[in-house]
Amino acid sequence: MNSVVVFCGSSEGVTAQYAEDAFELGKTLAQNQIKLVYGGAKIGIMGSLAKGTTEAQGEVIGVIPEFLMKKEVFHPNLTDLIITKDMHERKMKMHELSDGIIMLPGGYGTLEEFFEMLTWAQLGLHQYPIGILNTNGFYDALLQMLRHMVQQGFVKQINYDMLLVDQDVNSLLTKMKNYEPIPVPKWITKDQT
């Protein structure tokens, strides 16, 4: 992996551990010469993530849509800041710039961006490793819901198994570096065409 897109919150959450783990992830990416691609903000755990990378002399590319430039308070000290016209262009640019995906704690926007990338992997549009840094068990309930979706026949086990989950930054990156892409099943059978 040469670059990783990280999706996370523009808020700090209720525990300092979220920002601490985001900072540690940013620092660890820099130490491993992995470029950080993220949402471009200097606030919330997004800001902690970027700070960890910049303080460790790593490369950071922020991608932010025009309308969020003021709301999310863009980070002025990045290697590069790319301004897009909208959220769709933002996700496409982030995808183009990365070859790995990580989700940290966040809200609706974090989930939306992450699940679109996960869906693209399910459809065979990329085979990047997809990680969740599950700080303080933040995503335990989500992972339980995803397992329920598998049990109820809405998500295939092989697609659930694409997710690499860990509470430790280094362990998660090791899993991602060692990830073997799954074969992409056919979505439409011959009888359905």
Beta strands in the chain (DSSP E): 3-7, 35-38, 60-65, 80-84, 101-103, 130-133, 163-166
Residue 19 burial class via C-beta count within 10 angstroms: exposed 0-12, middle 13-18, buried 19 and up: buried
Q: What is the pLDDT of residue 72?
A: 60
pLDDT band at 193 (very low <50, low <70, confident <90, very high): very low
- What the chain holds in terms of domains, given with CATH numbers, is 3-175 (3.40.50.450)
Q: pLDDT (tens digit, 9 = 90+) per residue, 125-177? A: 999 999 999 999 999 999 999 999 999 999 999 999 999 999 999 999 999 99
Rounded Cα distance between 157 and 138, Å, is 22
Q: Over 70: is that where the pLDDT of 191 sits?
A: no
More confident residue, 188 or 126: 126
Q: pLDDT (tens digit, 9 = 90+) per residue, 80-95? A: 999 999 999 999 999 9
Q: pLDDT (tens digit, 9 = 90+) per residue, 88-135? A: 999 999 999 999 999 999 999 999 999 999 999 999 899 999 999 999
Question: 166 Cβ partners below 8 Å, 6+ apart?
Answer: 131, 132, 133, 134, 172, 175
